[in-house]
Structure 1
Amino acid sequence: MKKTLRWTAVAAAVAAAVAVGVVAGGSLCLLAYSLTPRKTMRARNAAAREVMTTEYPFLEPWLDSLETTGALRDTTIVGAEGERLHAIYAFAPTPTDRTAVIVHGYTDNAVRMLMIGYMYNRDLGYNILLPDLYFHGRSEGRAIRMGWKDRLDVLRWMEIANGIFGGHTQMVVHGISMGAATTMMVSGEQQQPYVKCFVEDCGYTSVRDQFAKELREQFHLPAFPLLPVASWICDLRYGWNFREASALEQVRKSTLPMLFIHGDADDFVPTEMVYPLYEAKQQGDRELWVVPGAAHALSYRDNREEYTDRVQEFVGRYIE
């Protein structure tokens, strides 16, 4: 009997060790898959200009003109870890204090947000600054930060943009997808007087919610125990965790006006995420536009004229 109990205890210990190993290994794989997809990002960086001018043909003559005249410029700052962070910017066609800081999505880069740059610069007459977030585009870094620590870099880019464009700007921050989540995360911080409003397009409620959705739909796995363990490892390795990275909680603290945009055919960042975000915005003006038939991050592409009109109408209430 004692021998049987001893072997049972040994078997249970081995099973527990194997389970711990499987969860730890799975969590490490989750982090690598989600936060360091280097091959995907290299391909996106290399093809960014070609993809954008193919999908948005009107960008090519505008970009050619900016580049020929030297109007599309580069700038860099040094991040908190000593990394080099890069952005591109352009002055408005006619001198103005109106400025847009435009934030790209997951595994994207500043070039892949130039359609929104065109809207603000060419159509609406704004100065524009488009950062490459940490680990994206031409910026350095160790891993994607899903908008959370990026919010602090974007606050610095907003300050840089204000300085570049004269020191007395009226500023909107506009993000798409992860850039929209970043924008909402920014909105919950203390703002400078030059910041007037925000536009978020298809942002997620929190990193935990988005990762749980991806685990369920892509891999048919439950959030527990992989997500808590992966979040703990992320905190040890990169200094942030999934639960604290919440656009929803930041929006609760936001006091400046915000336009929420989401396609009703979005199955990547599910459309239903926009409703709790909108409801959480209890301070300051808010407006919601759910775009019929629009898939993830395609509301502008598929509804260019209406998108431009709605942004102009909303932002124009707060920026003269």
Structure 2
Amino acid sequence: MKKFAKIVRFLFSFLLFLSSFGVFITNRMMYIKKKDDETILNRETSSGRFRPEDFQDVPRKDVTVPSPFGYHLKVILVEPHQTNRYMVISHGVTENKVNSIKYMKLFLERGFNVAIYDHRRHGESGGKTTSYGYYEKFDLKAIVHWLKNEKGSDILLGIHGESMGAATMLLYAGAVEDGADFYISDCAFSDFSEQISYLLKKDIKVPPKLVLPLTNTFLRIRERYSLHDISPISFVHNIKHPVLFIHSKKDDYILPAMTEALYEKKKGPKKLFLAENGAHAQSLNENKEDYEAAIDSFLQEFIFSKKPSNE
């Protein structure tokens, strides 16, 4: 009996350890520490990428779009142009819509009106957890539908995403609906399981095979999805509309090989730009002229020469 009791206590302790670790690791993911909003604003202002005076007289509208999951998404629609060209900008994890302003300026200069927004649990949007594109892709769908309902289903619509925002965009286009006319994917991960495995080995020195199965189990229990559901490369072949893939060659957080793999898997119209300089999500900041040239070339080849728009 004593031996049996020891076995029972051991099993109970082991299960308690697994449960505690499963909750811990999924908490780290679901409630990832975000950058402070003031820190983001100061960073973008001090770098010159955001100047409040540039937008004082620009026609803009603050909008609240309901998420299908019961919270609200904060959107800013900037419309200085009499046109049917619109862009939606999808920011990366831990950031907010202020980080999207540098991309907004880029497309405003090219005659687009632009919508920037906060992902769930970021900035001024609601939502309790971050899901790295799984639930975010349905929020993006809600924003696209709101914009088309407001401006007409025939608008020329593009979506630009950075990092998690790019993965969200690719999941939206490949797994939910190919609802835009074109997409620009800047430093997306191709598969979240692979990304987590890479970071575990690189930064924490923990064997992924010990962590990922437990993480998947607890994500299914707590959030009703698994890491395998966050895999843009599993869906990118479904995207019919043109995609411009961008990545910095020096990115050691999400490796450029992930974008190259996405590019290879994508069928139909596509283009690839690998920036020479910059760490993760710094391709525009460190290669501005080349970045803009890549976008201009992509738009001219696949968009402006194919589909007329109202000026």
If the length of structure 1 is used for normalisation, what is the TM-score?
A: 0.88
| 3-state SS in 2 of match to 1:318 | helix
Counterpart of 1:109 in structure 2 is 96
Q: Give 1:130's aligned residue.
A: 116
For 1:48, the equivalent position in structure 2 comes to 40
Asked whether the equivalents of residues 127 and 165 of structure 1 are also in contact (C-alpha less than 8 Å), the reply is no
- Work out the CA distance in 2 between the residues paired with 1:142 and 1:201: 26
Residue 280 of structure 1 and its aligned partner are, at CA, apart by 1.1
CA shift, 1:11, in A, is 4.9
> How far, CA to CA, are the matches of 1:191 and 1:202 in structure 2?
20
Aligned to 2:207: 222
Whichever residue aligns with residue 229 of structure 1, its letter is L
Deviation of the 1:166 alpha carbon: 4.6
The answer for unaligned runs of 5 or more in structure 1 is: none
SS in 2 for 1:306: helix
Equivalences for 1:273-312 in 2 at 5 Å? 273-282=258-267, 284-312=268-296
Q: 2:127 is matched with which residue: 136, 141, 145? A: 141
Whole-Å separation in 2 of the counterparts to 1:167 and 1:273: 33
CA contact (8 A) 2:184 2:244 kept: yes
Matched-pair contact (CA < 8 Å) for 1:26–1:226:
no
Letter in 1 for 2:230: A
How many Å apart are 1:58 and its aligned residue? 4.8
Alignment partner of 2:50 out of 27, 42, 59? 59
**Deviations 1:150-206 (CA, angstroms, capped at 9, x unpaired):** 1111012112223344543101111010011111111213334xx211110100012
Q: Is 1:71 aligned to 2:59, yes or no?
A: yes
The answer on whether the counterparts of 2:49 and 2:101 sit within 8 Å (CA) in structure 1 is no
SS in 2 for 1:203: coil
| Alpha-carbon contact 2:277-2:287 (below 8 Å) kept | no
Q: How many residues align?
A: 303
Equivalent residue letter for 2:195: Q
Give the deviation of 1:260 after TM superposition: 0.8
C-alpha contact (below 8 Å) 2:76/2:117 kept by paired residues: yes
Give the equivalent residue in structure 2 for 1:35. 30
* Unaligned residue ranges in structure 2 (runs of 5+): none
Cα deviations across residues 267-290 of structure 1 (Å, max 9, x unaligned)?
A: 1111221222111112x2111111
* Inter-partner Cα distance in structure 2 for 1:58 and 1:45: 16
Code of the residue aligned with 1:237 in structure 2: it is R
Deviation string, structure 1 residues 106-154 (Cα, Å, up to 9, x no partner) = 1111111110011011x21211011211111111111001012211110
**CA 167–190 in structure 1, closer or farther in 2 if over 3 Å, else same:** closer
Q: How far apart, in 2, do the equivalents of 1:214 and 1:27 lie?
A: 18
Counterpart Cα distance in 1 of 2:62 and 2:216: 34
Instruction: Give the alignment's TM-score, normalised by structure 2.
Output: 0.90
CA distance in 2, matches of 1:11, 1:213: 38
| Matching of residue 207 in structure 1 with residue 192 in structure 2 | yes
Q: 1:232-247 counterparts in 2 under 5 A?
A: 232-247=217-232
Matched, 1:100 2:87: yes
CA RMSD of aligned residues (A): 2.0
Return the offset for 1:233.
1.6
Partners in 1 of 2:75 and 2:92 — Cα distance? 14
Could you list the runs of 4 or more consecutive aligned residues of structure 1 that deviate by over 6 angstroms after TM superposition? none
Code of the aligned partner of 1:84 = H
Once residues 242 and 146 of structure 2 are traced to their aligned partners in structure 1, the CA distance between those partners, rounded to angstroms, is 22
Distance in 1 separating the partners of 2:36 and 2:149:
30
Q: Give the secondary-structure state (helix, strand or coil) at the position aligned to 1:64.
A: helix
Q: Matches of 2:195 and 2:211 in 1, distance apart? A: 14
Residue identity in the other structure for 2:90: V
> CA–CA distance in 1 between the matches of 2:205 and 2:24?
15
Contact 1:234 1:240 in 2 (8 A): yes
Q: Note the 1:15-34 alignment, pairs <5 A.
A: 15-34=10-29
Question: 1:13: how far off?
Answer: 4.9
Distance between the aligned counterparts of 2:204 and 2:9, measured in 1? 26
